[in-house]
Amino acid sequence: MSYEELMDYDEVMESYDPALGLEVHVELNTHSKMFCSCSTQFGAEPNTQTCPTCLGLPGSLPVVNAKAIESAIRIGLALNCSISTWCRFARKNYFYPDMTKNFQTSQYDEPICFDGQVEVEVDGQPFIIPIERAHMEEDAGKSQHMGGTTGRIQGADYSLMDYNRAGVPLIEIVTKPIMATGPQAPAVARAYVGFLRDMIRALGVSDVRMEQGSLRCDANVSLMPKGSTTLGTRTETKNVNSLRSIEKALRFEICRQGAILSSGGQVVQETRHWHEDGAYTSAGRSKEEAEDYRYFPEPDLVPIAPSREWVEELRATIPEPPAVHIAGLNKTWGFSDLEMRDVVNAEAVDLIHATVEAGASPQAARKWWMTELLRRANAESISLEDLPISGEHVAEVQRLIDSGLISDKIARQVIEAVLAGEGSPTQIVEDRGLTLVSDSVTLQKAVDDVIEANPDIAQKIREGKDQATGALIGQVMKQMSGQADAAKVREMIIASLAS
């Protein structure tokens, strides 16, 4: 729980303009580490993927992974960055047991990619995100804090270190201050990180799984009084590991900073931690004393000088930007602009694409993802893609409907069961005996019973009041527990009363 005062979001926006800064770390999916040949496989037994180089033993010598450089350049090109003609790695010196070397090999004032920009869209409105740099570095080991009550570093008696992740290649992508977003700031941040995720996935250089930490975001935000051009004091929120949390964390920080500033206080420049469960941020390390990492050029590595021929070769491999990709998809889908915007906002493009690929019509795919499933995702406060159902499942449900085996209503039950982990749609329909009763004897019996029980309504239909048919269909469907084809029931009622 947070005990800090918050100001109403809309009120903050009446007096202040937010400025954003986003730092995104992307773990590359190379087979081996950045500077040694240890595996990068996620989830291996602790300390089974280490060697003298990534353990920082004396006399070991790092050698750069060519694939990591290639991936870095491709990310830079997709962000419309300039690619350095000559750059170096640097040592970032710090004492923390997540790196046995007591420094992280990173880049300092010579990033491999710099000065880019990308465009993202929020509710149909384009926003330019200026990119400061994308540089190469290595990931650190994982620590587990022991003793104490919370498993956190505070109050721990000691820590246990696993260096499997130490040395896995990372790309850090840093924006310039993102201004003039107004109240859309949190949504713009989310759209930008969503863009990075989609773009990097399309490049195939990372798994970009936020929940596994292969895409991590630190979100900076500050407020300045409306009309001012001087940036306010910023805070940096860490540990934000879903797109939804980025939006929520920024909104929280804006309301918190708004309350401080409007009561005449000063925002403290500090690191803040996002707490997913309570949806609030809490103060971490204060940054009053600027950290001194004593960067210097890495003496064990020679400079990187990507030839222009290589850069152009790589440029030819860059897929189209997600917005162009989406526009291309919609040429065959034929959704209206408004429908497509909703689909994009709900992050349902890939899911609908998968559903259509699996054989469903675009309209049917959109219907399921944007109504039933979106409602479920929203109710659970998770993203659509985190629902335990795939495009193939949805296409299969639609196939069962189209072939007359189940009704729309039963389809909803089937979807529920898939979400509950009961198996594939076809299997669920079989296991639960949900197929429509198409056997006419059983159906005719139900129709006859309902007509007999409702002589008044039957008479109205005989007199030509067709709209009365609905009441009888409803009752037959109820008797059949929904497992009948409504159109067929209608036909049978009319035929029975006409004779």
Partner 1 sequence: MTLTNADVARLADLARLDLTPEELSVMAGQLDVILDAVASVSEVAGDDVPPSSHALDLTNVFRVDEVHQSLSPEAALKMAPAVEDGRFRVPRILGE
Binding-site ranges for Zn ion (CB under 5 A): 36, 38, 51, 53-54
Residue 419 sits in the site that holds partner 1 (CB under 8 A): no
Residue 192 sits in the site that holds partner 1 (CB under 8 A): no
Q: Which two tokens stand for residue 3?
A: 């005990």
Minimum Å gap between C-beta 167 and partner 1 is: 11
Q: Is 341 exposed, middle or buried (0-12, 13-18, 19+ CB in 10 A)?
A: middle
DSSP lists the bridge partners of residue 236 as 220, 271
Size, binding site for partner 1 by CB under 8 A? 55
Closest listed residue to residue 433, CA positions, set 480, 479, 492, 389: 480
Question: Cα separation of 447 and 294, whole Å?
Answer: 85
Pairing, β 142-146 against β 270-275: unpaired
Residue 324 interaction partner, one of Zn ion, partner 1, none, beta carbon < 5-8 Å per kind: none
Residue 358 interaction partner, one of Zn ion, partner 1, none, beta carbon < 5-8 Å per kind: none
Question: Cα separation of 345 and 125, whole Å?
Answer: 12
Cβ nearer to partner 1, comparing 149 with 332: 149
Question: Cα separation of 40 and 34, whole Å?
Answer: 9
| Position among 7, 12, 69, 480 found at the interface with partner 1 (CB under 8 A) | 69
Minimum Å gap between C-beta 32 and Zn ion is: 8
What radius of gyration do the chain's Cα atoms show? 29
Phi, psi of 314 (to 5 degrees): -70, -35
Residue 301 sits in the site that holds partner 1 (CB under 8 A): yes
Specify the 3-state DSSP secondary structure of 308. helix
Cβ nearer to partner 1, comparing 294 with 315: 294
Residue 57 interaction partner, one of partner 1, Zn ion, none, beta carbon < 5-8 Å per kind: partner 1
Specify the 3-state DSSP secondary structure of 406. coil
Residue 424 interaction partner, one of partner 1, Zn ion, none, beta carbon < 5-8 Å per kind: none
Q: Is 469 exposed, middle or buried (0-12, 13-18, 19+ CB in 10 A)?
A: middle
Pairing, β 270-275 against β 235-240: parallel
Cβ nearer to Zn ion, comparing 54 with 348: 54
Cβ nearer to partner 1, comparing 132 with 137: 137
Minimum Å gap between C-beta 300 and Zn ion is: 14
**Tokens 């790589």 map to which residue?**
314
Question: Cα separation of 344 and 346, whole Å?
Answer: 5
Taking CB under 8 A as the binding criterion, the range among 65-73, 273-281, 333-341, 490-498 that sits at the site for partner 1 is: 65-73
Pairing, β 142-146 against β 103-106: unpaired
Residue 311 sits in the site that holds partner 1 (CB under 8 A): no
The interface with partner 1 within residues 89-108 (CB under 8 A) comprises 93, 95-97
Residue 67 sits in the site that holds partner 1 (CB under 8 A): yes
Taking CB under 8 A as the binding criterion, the range among 224-232, 294-302, 352-360, 396-404 that sits at the site for partner 1 is: 294-302
The answer to whether 395 and 360 are in contact (CB under 8 A) is yes
Cβ nearer to partner 1, comparing 137 with 298: 298
Q: Which two tokens stand for residue 281?
A: 């941020």
Cβ nearer to Zn ion, comparing 51 with 156: 51
Minimum Å gap between C-beta 76 and partner 1 is: 17
The interface with partner 1 within residues 122-161 (CB under 8 A) comprises 143-146, 153-154, 156-161
- Convert 283-303 into a string of H (helix), E (strand) and C (coil): EEEECCCCCCCCCEECCCCCC
Cβ nearer to partner 1, comparing 46 with 423: 46
Residue 61 interaction partner, one of Zn ion, partner 1, none, beta carbon < 5-8 Å per kind: none
Chain positions contacting partner 1, by CB under 8 A: 30-32, 37-39, 45-52, 55, 57, 63-69, 86, 88, 93, 95-97, 143-146, 153-154, 156-163, 292, 294, 296-299, 301-306
